C-alpha cells in the first residue's frame, strides 16, 4: 500500500483540499469493482514522520478489520496528531487521515461527502468505460 501511495504522489496527485472537504490530511480509495485506486498526497502540514505513522496506521487497521470471525467494516484510531479511519465495503476500501479536532460524527459526514465527490468525479478518476478489443 505504501508503494501505491508513493506512486500516486509521483503522478499529479490531488491535494486533500481539492476534495472540497476541510480537515482531510490524506485519503486512499480503492474501487473493488473497477479494480482501480487513487490517493491524495498528504496535506502540506503533515511532516515525513507523521506520514509514516499514518501509513503504518492504515496497515494496522486493515489487518485489524480482516482479523476475527466477522470482519469489521469501519474502524478508526484517534491520536493527538490525527484520526485515521478505515472503511471497507463490498465495493470499496477507503483509508483517511483526518485532523484530530474533528469529531467522530463530523468525520463520518466528511467521509460520506468524499464518497459522493468520488462518485461524481468517477469518470475523471478511473477508467470506467474502457473499450474491449
- 107 vs 66: which has the higher pLDDT: 107
pLDDT (tens digit per residue) in 91-107: 899 999 999 999 989 99
Query: What is the number of alpha carbons within 13 Å of residue 30 lying toward its C-beta?
Result: 14
pLDDT (tens digit per residue) in 110-119: 999 999 998 8
Residue in 83, 84, 58, 62 with CA at minimum distance from that of residue 73 = 62
Backbone torsions φ then ψ of 122, nearest 5 degrees: -50, -40
Checking phi first, is residue 69 left (phi over 0); if not, alpha (psi -120 to 50) or beta?
alpha
Is this model's pTM higher than 0.75 or not? yes
* Cell numbers linked to 27: 485519503
* Cell numbers linked to 112: 460520506
Lowest mean pLDDT, pick from 27-31, 49-53, 123-127: 123-127
Amino acid at each position: 500500500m505504501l508503494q501505491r501511495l508513493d506512486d500516486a504522489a509521483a503522478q499529479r496527485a490531488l491535494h486533500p483540499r481539492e476534495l472540497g472537504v476541510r480537515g482531510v490530511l490524506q485519503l486512499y480509495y480503492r474501487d473493488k469493482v473497477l479494480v482501480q485506486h487513487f490517493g491524495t498526497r498528504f496535506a502540506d502540514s503533515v511532516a515525513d514522520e507523521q506520514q509514516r505513522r499514518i501509513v503504518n496506521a492504515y496497515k494496522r487497521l486493515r489487518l485489524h478489520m480482516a482479523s476475527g470471525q466477522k470482519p469489521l467494516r469501519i474502524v478508526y484510531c484517534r491520536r493527538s496528531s490525527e484520526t485515521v479511519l478505515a472503511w471497507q465495503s463490498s465495493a470499496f476500501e477507503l483509508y483517511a487521515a483526518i485532523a484530530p479536532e474533528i469529531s467522530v460524527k463530523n468525520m463520518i459526514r466528511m467521509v460520506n461527502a468524499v464518497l459522493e465527490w468520488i462518485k461524481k468525479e468517477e469518470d475523471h478518476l478511473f477508467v470506467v468505460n474502457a473499450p474491449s478489443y
